[in-house]
Structure 1
Amino acid sequence: MYLTWLDSNSWLIELAGKRILLDPWLVGNLTFGNLTWLFKGYRHQERAFPESLDLILLSQGLEDHAHPETLKRLGKAIPIVGSPSAAKVAQQLGFSQVTALKHGETFTLDHLTIQATPGSPLGPMVQENGYLLKDLASGVKLYYEPHGFHASTLKENAPIEVVITPLIDLALPLVGSIIKGTESALELAKDVQPQVMLPTAAGGDIMFEGLLLSVLKAIGSPDEFRAKLAENNLDTKVLEPRPGDRVEISLRPAAIVP
């Protein structure tokens, strides 16, 4: 397995012989509803688009996961799998092969399965997706959820060798944590016993500005999370790849049960 972090929530996953582009924001600015005064993310240099993609995977329909400007520049024949809201965005942008996955549903691509899990709630009526990917040949699993909202049923799939999720909290006054990492990720580690965890939703080479930044509060750090793992006798390794670096994920062989 190889993972390449492309800033923010954007990843290139190489698993089961497939190249999957996850939640891509590679070019242009990031805003929500064009409210640049409230929040704006930008980069000084566009990130190169990965080649030879087998699939685009979208966890949410919001701009930081289904970034319209980035999606417009990707080939419309590339298959897309996404939450129902993300699938709607992809269809509106002209993609020809779009699959909407509801919670519990599975998409199969040769020797790779992708199961949608309950993810981040966006209001009372919408709950977006996390994803559990499995290489059917090796049995290796990878789980991704970008806001730290994890289904309790994930423990039924333990062990999950690789987890990509926030390891810190981002909180708003009166609202609380909009990204949950400190305790949520620790409980997840206890439940699914990952060998490797990687933080997502961090800035990387991206700059942010706007009124929202003045009230957002970051709580925790990857080093503090490592300390919590050690306190709980968990040998999970935390990796922090640099943006653009292709990292090989080395895993221990699965334990043989007599």
Structure 2
Amino acid sequence: MMVVLCNPLHHLPHKSNTILSTKFSTTLIPKTSIRLNRKDSTFMILDAPKFTNRLISSMKSEKKVSEPSDSFKLTYLEVNTWLWEVAGVTILVDPVLVGNLDFGVPFLFKAAKKYLKNFKLSDLPEVECLLITQSFDDHCHLNTLIPLSQMFPNLQVIANPNAKTLLDPLFNNVTYLHSSKHSEIQTSNGNRVKIQAIDGPRRVGPPWQSHINGCIVTSPKGHLSLYYEPHCVYDEDIIRTKNADIIITPVIKQLVQNLTVVSGQEDAVQLAKWLNSKYFVPMNNGDLDSRGPLTSLIKSVGTIESFKELLSRELPGVKTIEPIPGVPFDIV
């Protein structure tokens, strides 16, 4: 299994594509765009603000090529938004792509993306499926979903049942995943990508709602799987019964006064232990340009660096991949 960092900047000078295996044998990227940290088996990409706005615009023009049936191409688009290409099927996850994020109270809180400020829906590549994991505004973002539904009213949607009242008026082809249920996306060659709903604890959302707050995506042959949960909050008894090669979840805790809204740090390490994971992709979904009275109540605890130290002590074999908005990378 290896990580391949893709470079969509065909119009910029570069020496070579970069292939980063689990042994990190090759590094050929100019101008310090990438820093490889051999000591703790991680890599990250630097100088994001200088070129991320130019990266995403080339994605739409790229022709989709035949991908190995058990591979994941992952692109982070800030907040909780991702593009996942699995065996040639592109899944758009929790898109926040149009306007600001305000949870319906813009006079109290308003947040904007830091890097992909000029992103437009028309910049998206061809998408086969929309995945909505939560009903909250930072996952089920109506400013984005209304114009998206007008562009693609028949788009296949797989969603948390808590979002039903928001999605039913917009899309014609919605499957709501209830506890532990799964749905499938058929690929062009007849293979099927499986998405399974994973229950979380009762402290996420109001008590009358479904407690689904994560999912596991499995490649057609079942050789590679990805666990996604955007709060690093999980049910221990359920997680102990699952396995996932890749984890995408936050590692920096976010507290509103004394209430933990997003977990991370040691909880993220424990998650990797129970899921027997090989790759950890820390999602910094609180890294936004925020303003309003509520921002003074939000406190961050820990850093990505402190998480990597914890992970390297407890699970030295797990590789950390720090994503940069707009830059896709493959896990094969």
Q: 2:297 aligns with which of 196, 215, 229?
A: 215
SS at 1:229's partner residue?
Answer: helix
**Count of residue correspondences:** 245
The CA distance in 1 between the partners of 2:181 and 2:217, in whole Å, is: 12
What is residue 27 of structure 1 aligned with on the other side? Answer: 98
Worse-matched range after superposition: 131-140 or 55-64: 131-140
The CA RMSD over aligned residues, in Å, is 1.7
Q: Which entry has the higher C-alpha Rg, 1 or 2?
A: 2
What is residue 271 of structure 2 aligned with on the other side? Answer: 188
Structural mapping, 1:30-69, within 5 Å:
30-33=101-104, 35-43=105-113, 45-49=117-121, 50-69=124-143
Instruction: State whether structure 2 residue 193 is matched by structure 1 residue 112.
Output: yes
In structure 1, the gaps of 5 or more residues are 251-258
Q: 1:239 aligns with which of 301, 321, 332?
A: 321
Shift of 1:154: 2.4
Deviations 1:50-88 (A, max 9, x none): 221110000111111011011112111111111112233
What is residue 141 of structure 1 aligned with on the other side? Answer: 225
Instruction: State whether structure 2 residue 323 is matched by structure 1 residue 249.
Output: no
Shift of 1:192: 1.1
What is residue 130 of structure 1 aligned with on the other side? Answer: 214
The CA distance in 1 between the partners of 2:266 and 2:135, in whole Å, is: 26
Equivalent residue letter for 1:154: I
SS at 2:168's partner residue?
Answer: helix
Shift of 1:178: 0.6
Shift of 1:26: 0.7
What is residue 96 of structure 1 aligned with on the other side? Answer: 172
The CA distance in 1 between the partners of 2:102 and 2:215, in whole Å, is: 25
SS at 1:99's partner residue?
Answer: strand
Question: What stretches of structure 1 move > 6 A for 4+ residues in a row?
Answer: none
CA contact under 8 A between 1:3 and 1:247: conserved in structure 2? yes
SS at 2:178's partner residue?
Answer: coil
Normalising by structure 1, we get a TM-score of 0.89
Shift of 1:138: 4.5
Equivalent residue letter for 1:95: F
